[in-house]
Amino acid sequence: METLIEQIKQGKVWPFAGGIHPPGQKQQSTSRAIERLELPDKLVVSLKQHIGANGKLIVEKGQSVLKGQALTKPSGNWSVPVHAPTSGVITDICPMPSAHPSALPELSVIIEPDGKDTWCELNPVDDPKALSHDELVDIIHQSGIAGMGGAGFPTYVKADTRKSIEFLIVNAVECEPYITADDMLMREHAHGIIAGIELMQHLLNPTLTIIGIEDNKPEAIAAMQQAAKHNESIIVQTVPTVYPSGGEKQLIKLLTGKEVPSGNIPADIGMLVHNVGTLFAINQAVYEGKPLIERVVTVTGNTIHKQGNVWALLGTEIKHLLDCQGFSPVPQQRVVMGGPMMGFTLPTVRIGIVKTTNCILAPDHQELAEPGDEKACIRCSACADACPASLLPQQLQWFAKSKEYDKLNEHNLFDCIECGACAYVCPSEIPLVQYYRVAKAEIKEQQAEQIKAERARERFEARKERLEREQEERQNRHKRKPATKSSDEKQKVADALARVKPKSDDKDSKSAVAAAIARAKAKKQGAELEPDNSEVAKERAARKEQARKYKEQKALEQSEETVDKDDKKSAVAAAIARAKAKKAAQATEADNATDAEPEAVDDKKAAVAAAIARAKAKKAAQATEADNATDAEPAAVDDKKVAVAAAIARAKAKKAAQATEADNATDAKPAAVDDKKAAVAAAIARAKAKKAAQATEAENATDAEPAAVDDKKAAVAAAIARAKAKKSAKEQAETESATDAEPAAVDDKKAAVAAAVARAKAKKAAKEHAEQQAKNESADTHGTDAHSDDSSTDEPEAQQIDNTPESSEDKKKAAIARAIARAKAKKLQQEGTDKS
């Protein structure tokens, strides 16, 4: 089986997908040899004429420069210098319109030629093989050579590749219509091109060099074969005339049958591609020492009277080229830089020629018609059939319009070589290439922003790590290191521990000592250990328990004192309660006397009054019994306190009598009773109230007798008195509620019995009152001598009241009251007998 090299030498060609056959239109510019133009009035040399970073400017405004003098020096990645195309003066350094569809301004050096065209010092090389690889690459680099057939990729980068190159491919196809710059260069300077090829062979050492030329250039094919006949490693290969066979990947497919994978470059598969114009510039740079300052440019179109190719200095304005070739513009004239397929319309002709400018096309309206309005896609698939990169132009256009950049990358947008074949065949006249160019620019800008953000993030993280590291170093620098213990110090600590151990028998004390030693060790060694506070906590808890017990004991003592004081107060309160009960009994008698009036009381009222009288009498009797029982108990109150209590009781009794008088006066105004009876009733009420007050005073004086009972018995007696008083009050309340619940219509028998009981009790009460009064008089007589000092000092008011003899008027009133009570009782009895 034949090898690949054998197949290539036999002239085999492998076709690529897609492609179109537009009219060539090359005869107009190949009828004349390449001409040289006269010097222009000014040259606008852009600093950016290639892919990569701009060079660093090394000249200034007003400076004189020589032909071939460097204006910049390489700075950054893929940076190549630019040189002065002729001698002259730098009139300005400013932004000027660029050779781009947008014509955005780029920094440019404006040179005014002096007309002398004086060269700077040149350094030609007679024997390039004597130079090292790096020296030869440096000459190419400093000469400012970049790719002259396409995007302007720096040539020194390709020449300095470290990858193994099997095939060096020379692109001499020049497939685009109207362009004939490479064709004429090969016709006239084939030997120079072959010399440049041999220099690249020396640098790259390829197995085979293939020159690809379209079959529509017979003169160029013959010239190149003649120039390369002495070099057997160079093959001139004729390829079919199909557009775009001049594309790098398409040409590799045509000549070798290999395909460059998506996202890769030809060097990845052992191939390298150079344009014939680039190789001729390498020849001049090495053998003549000339930098890249001029190139061949095709000036053609129906508006150009003198169509052909010219040697144009870099920076020459396009207007100068057109004027030199006889330009006759038409209305709305278009001027295209490049060919009709991949070129772009210039917004102005005041733009300088750059290293990648190979054609200036000035067509009329019949030659290159204006594109029509864009119409809707009819899905004819003509664009996909014509695409040489086997892409889907229709989908790419949709994604580009909707700015779906991820999908554009998925559909390999950057494999598009922007040949324009899809737009050429589109029946809807959709400018597909323009969509792709805009999308590519936006994606590159987005990627640049992402790279910038990533670098900023990396810088931030690096700075953060650096600051943290510096902070940690500062802390470690100021941190005190624990001092190293000597053997003597260690021995002292061990001896101290040995002395401490036998002294402590208790486990708690041992643990406390051990904790103290541990804390001391930790503190000395600089360790940040928390102290053991268990022993301190135990001591604190013990102190709290002791304080709590002390408070409880103190509270108990205070409660006992309070009980003693309460007993004394209870005795006084019992005396006051007895006085109030007696007063209530007397008030009841007065009410009964008043209620017994025969004129204003009817039968029903009499029955109710009898029931009330019985209840009140019973209540008074119970209260009297309780008082007597209480009086029998010895009191533990001293003389002074008894005197004060008696005075308070008398005052309260007097106040109660006044209130009773007011109540009786109010209640004693029935509508059926005349004024006389009301006056008598009021007088009787006042007499009873006064008598009740005197009786209370007498009892209080009697209760004031000193007792010979000790404190313990007094406390017991007081407690009993409180209990009885509480019981009496409870029974009184129950009696009142029972009395109130009795119906008004009490039967006659009960009324008679009640009347009899009332009379008996009234009689008994009067008798007891007389006996009590006699006792009080005898007590006053004996107590005056015994207690003259105390009574004169502490109880002046009590002595004054108790020693006052009862007047005859009072006795009279008391007799009247008893008579009224007996009359009421008799009347009630008679009424009961009549009813029965």
CATH number for the domain formed by residue range(s) 1-31+129-289? 3.40.50.11540
In three-state secondary structure terms, 715 is helix
Which residues are CB-neighbours of 353 under 8 A, at least 6 positions away? 99, 295, 297, 312, 313, 314, 315, 316, 317, 318, 321
Amino acid at 92: D
Pick the range with the lowest mean pLDDT from 30-44, 64-78, 540-554, 789-803: 789-803
pTM of the model: 0.58
Given this model, what pLDDT does residue 69 score?
A: 95
> Confidence band (pLDDT; 50, 70, 90) for 811?
low
> Confidence band (pLDDT; 50, 70, 90) for 277?
very high
Given this model, what pLDDT does residue 829 score?
A: 67
pLDDT higher for 415 or 574?
415
For residue 17 the two structure tokens come to 């997908």
Burial of 721 (0-12, 13-18, 19+ CB in 10 A): buried
Q: How is the chain split into domains, by residue range?
A: 1-31+129-289, 388-472, 560-835
In 3-state terms the chain splits into helix, strand, coil percentages (rounded to 5) of: 55, 10, 35
pLDDT higher for 722 or 337?
337
> Confidence band (pLDDT; 50, 70, 90) for 670?
very low
Which residues are CB-neighbours of 624 under 8 A, at least 6 positions away? 581, 582, 585, 765, 768
| E strand or H helix that includes residue 156 | helix 155-159
308-313/294-300 β-pairing? antiparallel
pLDDT of 554 strictly over 70: yes
pLDDT higher for 211 or 786?
211
> Confidence band (pLDDT; 50, 70, 90) for 488?
confident
Cα of first residue to Cα of last residue in the chain, in angstroms, is 163
For residue 519 the two structure tokens come to 């804390």
DSSP string covering 557-577, please?
HHHHHHHHHHHHHHHHHHHHH
Cα dihedral across residues 137, 140, 142, 144: positive or negative: negative
Q: 601-638 pLDDT, tens per residue?
A: 455 565 565 567 676 666 655 655 544 444 444 333 44
Q: pLDDT exceeding 70 applies to what percent of the chain?
A: 66
Residues 499-509 have a mean pLDDT of 58
pLDDT of 75 strictly over 80: yes
pLDDT of 796 strictly over 50: no
Alpha helices of 189-296 — where are they, by DSSP H? 190-204, 218-227, 248-256, 276-283
Length of the chain: 836
| Paired residues of 299 in beta bridges | 308, 360
> Confidence band (pLDDT; 50, 70, 90) for 139?
very high
Neighbours of 734 (CB within 10 A): 10
Given this model, what pLDDT does residue 672 score?
A: 38
For residues 383 and 396, give the distance between their C-alpha atoms in angstroms, rounded to a whole number: 11
Q: 735-776 pLDDT, tens per residue?
A: 444 444 443 333 445 555 555 666 667 677 667 666 666 565
Long-range (24+ apart) CB contacts under 8 A made by 640-644 are 640/790, 640/794, 641/568, 641/572, 642/703, 642/704, 643/704, 643/790, 643/791, 643/794, 643/795, 643/798
| Numbered residues of the known binding site for [4Fe-4S] cluster | 377, 380, 383, 387, 416, 419, 422, 426
- Nearest alpha-carbon partner for 320 in 281, 330, 331, 311: 311
Pick the range with the lowest mean pLDDT from 66-80, 226-240, 595-609, 689-703: 595-609
- Nearest alpha-carbon partner for 69 in 60, 77, 127, 318: 60
- Nearest alpha-carbon partner for 297 in 274, 273, 325: 325
The CA-based angle 85-86-91, given to 5 degrees, is 95
Cα dihedral across residues 317, 323, 324, 330: positive or negative: positive
pLDDT of 700 strictly over 70: no
Buried b (16+ CB within 10 A) or exposed e, 384-415: bebbbbebbbbebbebbeeeebeebeebebee
Please provide the average confidence, as pLDDT, over all residues in the chain: 78
* CA 421 to chain CA mean position, Å: 55
Residue with the two structure tokens 């209640």: 667
Residue with the two structure tokens 């936006």: 442
Q: 555-571 pLDDT, tens per residue?
A: 877 766 665 555 566 66
- In contact, 607 and 745? CB cutoff 8 Å: yes
- In contact, 297 and 172? CB cutoff 8 Å: no
| Numbered residues of the known binding site | 377, 380, 383, 387, 416, 419, 422, 426
Best mean pLDDT range from 394-398, 712-716, 798-802: 394-398
For residues 364 and 357, give the distance between their C-alpha atoms in angstroms, rounded to a whole number: 21
Which residues are CB-neighbours of 303 under 8 A, at least 6 positions away? 327, 328, 329, 330, 333, 362, 363, 364
Q: Residue 92: CA atoms inside 13 Å, Cβ hemisphere, count?
A: 8
Strands lying side by side in the sheet with 167-171 = 234-239, 208-214, 167-171, 271-275
The CA-based angle 750-755-760, given to 5 degrees, is 125
pLDDT of 823 strictly over 60: yes
In three-state secondary structure terms, 213 is strand
> Confidence band (pLDDT; 50, 70, 90) for 673?
very low
For residue 385 the two structure tokens come to 């059939």
pLDDT of 155 strictly over 90: yes
For residue 305 the two structure tokens come to 């009277």
- Nearest alpha-carbon partner for 758 in 698, 798, 818: 818
pLDDT higher for 103 or 829?
103
For residues 285 and 142, give the distance between their C-alpha atoms in angstroms, rounded to a whole number: 9
* CA 202 to chain CA mean position, Å: 66
Given this model, what pLDDT does residue 774 score?
A: 59
pLDDT of 251 strictly over 50: yes
